[in-house]
Amino acid sequence: MSESSAATNFTLAELLICACADVWREEGEVLATGIGIIPRIAQGLAKLTHSPGLMITDGEAYLTETPVVIGAKNHEGRAYAGWMPYSRVFDALWHGRRHALVGPVQVDRWGQANISCVGDFARPKRQMLGLRGFPGNSINHVNSMFVPNHGPRVFVENEVDVVCSVGYRKERWPAGVRNDYMRIHRIVTDLCVMDFGGPEHAIRVVSLHPGVSFAQVQAATGFPLLKADNLRETTHPTEAQLAVIRQLDPKDVRSKQLKDNPPGIRPAA
Amino acid sequence: MAQLDKTMRAADVVAQLRDGMTIGIGGWGPRRKPMSIVREILRSSLKDLTIVGYGGTDMGMLCAAGKVKKLIYGFVSLDFIPLEPFFRKARESGQIEAMELDEGQLHWGLRAAAMRLPFLPTRVGLATDQLTKINPQFRTVTSPYDDGEVLLAMPALKLDVALLHTHKADKLGNTRLYSPDPFFDELFARAADRCYVSCEDLVEQIASTDEADARCNPFERSLVSGVVLARGGAHPTSHVPGYGWDAAHLKRYCAAAEEDGGWAKYADEFLTGDEAAYQQAVGGLDAIIKLPRQVF
C-alpha cells in the first residue's frame, strides 16, 4: 500500500482535518490561523504537506516553520523563525495576507456570521464571545469557516442576530465602502464542504462527507442550498496525511472534539 | 537637583482615582494584568468607572464588585475559559453599558488618543451590525482624495488613567517588559493622562549594559506617573516568562459566578485583608512565582 493511497479506516475528525487543511491549498505565503483543535491540526497538516509557504504561530507570539504538537507539556524543542505579537497580527491582517479558519455560532445565507450575542444587544439573552476579530478579519482578508455541528440553529433561516463578520448581502454595503478585499472561501462542516460559488455568491454544497446525502444537509440548514455541478464525495484522507496528523496530535486530542468520535465513513442515513 | 522618585504603593495609586473615571488596563485576557492594583480598587469605595481593555479577571471582578458603569472591550475572556462569567452576568442582567469593539478597533482607538487625534479611519466594522446595533454613535468619513472611499472613523479612546504590570521598573519610571508579547501596553500608556505601573522588581535605576535589554523598554519614562512594587502582582493572571496563570484559582473564581452570593464569598475569602493576606490565602508568594507557564 502506498503512503499516498486513500485510507480505509479514519475518523470523521480526521476527515475534517484534511478538508480544513485544504482551505489553505495554493494560498502561498499567508498567515494561516486555525481557531480550535481541528483547525489548528489542519493548519499544521497543510503546511507540512501541500502548502509549505504558509506562516503559522506557536499559539502564543512566535512564528515557527515546524508546527507545534498539540498537548505539549513544555517548550522543549521549539524553534522560532519570527515574531508575531498581536500588534503584528493586526498589521498583517489589515494588510490582507492572512487566511483564518474561524468557528462561528450562527451563519446566514449571505455568509455573515455571529459570535457576539443572542437577543437584544443592550441586554442579551445570551452573551457570547463578542465581536472579537470578526469585523476586521472579514473585511480585510480571506476567511473560511469550520462548523462541527451543522444544523438549523447554526445555519439560520434569516439574518444572524448580530452581524459580526461581513458577507455578501448587498444591502449591507453602502456606496463607497470597499468590498473587494473580502472573500469567504469555504465552510467545512461535519456533513459537507460548501463554497460561495452560486449566482451572486449563493452557498453551494461542493462535497458531501461519506454516507451523507444532499437532502440531509438541506434538512439541517435554515436556508436553501445549491448543489455544485460536480458535487462529489469529500476526498478521503491518505495514509500519508494520517501519519502527519498522528505526528501533530500524538495524544489523539482530535478524538475528543466530536461527540462519540464518529467514523469517517458513516452508514448512509 | 533632586532625583526623580515615582515610587508609590497600590493604595497611593487608588487614592489618585475618582468616581466616574475612564481607566485603561493593560495585558490581555488572563495575561499580565495589574491585579494587585485592581484588588486595591475592589477594596475601595470607587464607583461608576469606565474600564477599557482586552479584558479578563480585571473586568470580571470589577463588574462583580459593582464598580463598573461602562466597559469598552475587545473581549472579556480567560482564554481556557472562553467567556468571563461575571462579565457575562453583568451583560445579561443589563447592569453595565457596553462598547463592544473589534480587537483591532480597540488598538486603533487607543492609538488615536495616543496621537491626540479625534479618530483614525479604518474599514473595520463597516458592513456589520456595529453601527446599527452595537455602537450607533460611530460615524463614517469619506476620503477627501480621488478614491472617495467611505471609512469608519474610529473615535479616540482617551483614558484618564492607565494601569499596567511589567517585569521591572526603576524609581524614575523606566520599565522593562520581557514577555513574548507586549500586547498594547504602550498605547494604553500613551492614551492616558496618567499611567501607573506595577512591577515584579523595582530598582534604584535601570542601567543596562546590554543593548538588547534596553530594547525591552516598552515606552519612555515620561509617560509613567508612578511605579509600584508588586511581586506576584499579576496573580491569578500570568506573567510569562516568570509565572503562568493560576488555572485552579481561576476555576474557583469562575465557579463563584455560578452560586448565589458567590462573589461575596470569594471577596470574603480573598479580599478582606491586604495584598500580603491575599497572597497568603492563595498559597503564598513562593507558590505564585512557581506557577508553571502555560504551553499552547
Residue B43's alpha-carbon distances to B99, B157, B160, B288, in angstroms, are 26, 27, 20, 21
pLDDT, position B275: 98
Q: Which residues of A touch B92 (CB under 8 A)?
A: 123-127
Grid-cell match 458531501, residue found: A208
User: What distance in Å separates residue A16's CA from the closest CA in chain B?
Assistant: 22
Q: What is the pLDDT of residues A98-114, one digit of tens each?
A: 999 999 999 999 999 99
Q: Is the pLDDT reported for residue B34 higher than 80?
A: yes
**Beta carbons within 10 angstroms of residue A185's beta carbon:** 16
Report yes or no: A91 at the B interface, CB cutoff 8 Å: no
Q: Which residues of A touch B107 (CB under 8 A)?
A: 87, 90
pLDDT, position B3: 84
Amino acid making up residue A242: L
DSSP per residue over chain A, as a string?
Answer: --TTSBPSS-BHHHHHHHHHHGGGTT--S-EEEE-SHHHHHHHHHHHHTT-TT-BEE-SSSEEESSPPPTT-SS-TT----EE--HHHHHHHHHHT-EEEEE--SEE-TTS-EE-SEES-SSS-SEE-S-STTHHHHHHHSEEEEEESS-STTTB-SSS-SS--B--S-GGGS-TT---TT-EEEEEEESSEEEES-SGGG--EEEEE-TT--HHHHHHT-SS--EEEEEEEEPPPPBHHHHHHHHHH-TT-GGGGSSTT--BSSPPP-
**Quick one: CA torsion of A114, A120, A122, A125, rounded to 10 degrees?**
-90
Q: Is the pLDDT reported for residue B276 higher than 60?
A: yes
Percent of chain A residues topping a pLDDT of 70: 98
Q: Are B291 and B243 in contact (CB under 8 A)?
A: yes
Q: How far apart are CA A138 and CA A183, in angstroms?
A: 8
pLDDT, position B198: 98
Cα A42 → chain centroid: 9
Q: What is the pLDDT of residues B190-209, one digit of tens each?
A: 999 999 999 999 999 999 99
The residues in B 239-278 lying below 8 A from A, measured between CB atoms, are none
Q: How far apart are CA A113 and CA A63, in angstroms?
A: 28
How does the average pLDDT of chain B come out, rounded? 97
The residues in B 82-141 lying below 8 A from A, measured between CB atoms, are 82-83, 87-88, 91-94, 98, 100-105, 107, 122-130, 133-134
Q: Which residues of B touch A136 (CB under 8 A)?
A: 102-105, 122, 124
Grid-cell match 497538516, residue found: A45
Angle at which helix B247-256 crosses helix B57-64, to 10 degrees, equals 30
Report yes or no: A165 at the B interface, CB cutoff 8 Å: yes
Domain boundaries, chain A: 12-256
The residues in A 190-229 lying below 8 A from B, measured between CB atoms, are none
Q: Are A194 and A32 in contact (CB under 8 A)?
A: no
Dihedrals phi, psi of A40, to nearest 5 degrees: -70, -40
Question: Three-state DSSP class for B288?
Answer: helix
Q: Are A102 and A143 in contact (CB under 8 A)?
A: yes
Q: Which residues of B touch A73 (CB under 8 A)?
A: 295
Average pLDDT over residues B278-291: 98
Task: Return the bridge partners of A238, or none.
Answer: A6
Task: Return the bridge partners of A127, or none.
Answer: A117
Average pLDDT over residues B160-184: 98
Task: Spell A39-56 as b/e; 16+ CB within 10 A means b.
Answer: bbbbbbbbbbbebeebbb
Q: Which residues of B touch A59 (CB under 8 A)?
A: 296
pLDDT, position A267: 85
User: Do A85 and B77 lie within an 8 Å CB cutoff?
Assistant: no
pTM of the predicted model, to two decimals? 0.97
- DSSP assignment, residue B222? G
- CATH number at A12-256: 3.40.1080.10
Task: Return the bridge partners of A225, or none.
Answer: none
Question: Three-state DSSP class for B120?
Answer: strand
Q: What is the pLDDT of residues A42-58, one digit of tens each?
A: 999 999 999 999 999 99
User: Do A132 and B103 lie within an 8 Å CB cutoff?
Assistant: yes
Q: Is the pLDDT reported for residue B47 higher than 70?
A: yes
Q: What is the pLDDT of residues A173-228, one digit of tens each?
A: 999 999 999 999 999 999 999 999 999 999 999 999 999 999 999 999 999 999 99
pLDDT, position A269: 62
User: Do B296 and A172 lie within an 8 Å CB cutoff?
Assistant: no
Q: Which residues lie closer than 8 Å to B295 by C-beta, 6 or more apart?
A: A72, A73, A74, A75
Q: Is the pLDDT reported for residue A230 higher than 70?
A: yes
Name which of A84, A60, A88 is nearest A72 in CA terms. Answer: A60
Pairing of strands A126-127, A142-147: unpaired
User: Do B127 and A60 lie within an 8 Å CB cutoff?
Assistant: no
Predicted confidence band at B146 (pLDDT cuts at 50, 70, 90)?
very high
Q: Is the pLDDT reported for residue A1 higher than 60?
A: no
Dihedrals phi, psi of A187, to nearest 5 degrees: -120, 120
The residues in B 154-213 lying below 8 A from A, measured between CB atoms, are 180-184
Beta strands in chain B (DSSP E): 7-8, 22-25, 49-55, 68-76, 97-100, 119-122, 139-142, 150-155, 159-170, 175-176, 192-203, 224-229
Amino acid making up residue B285: L
Q: Kindly list the structural domains of chain B, giving each domain's residue range(s) and its CATH number in brackets, ordered by start.
A: 7-102+157-246 (3.40.1080.10), 124-155 (no CATH)
Predicted confidence band at B1 (pLDDT cuts at 50, 70, 90)?
low
pLDDT, position A5: 87
Percent of chain B residues topping a pLDDT of 70: 100
> Residues for chain B: how many in total?
296
User: Do B126 and A166 lie within an 8 Å CB cutoff?
Assistant: yes
pLDDT, position A4: 78
Predicted confidence band at B260 (pLDDT cuts at 50, 70, 90)?
very high
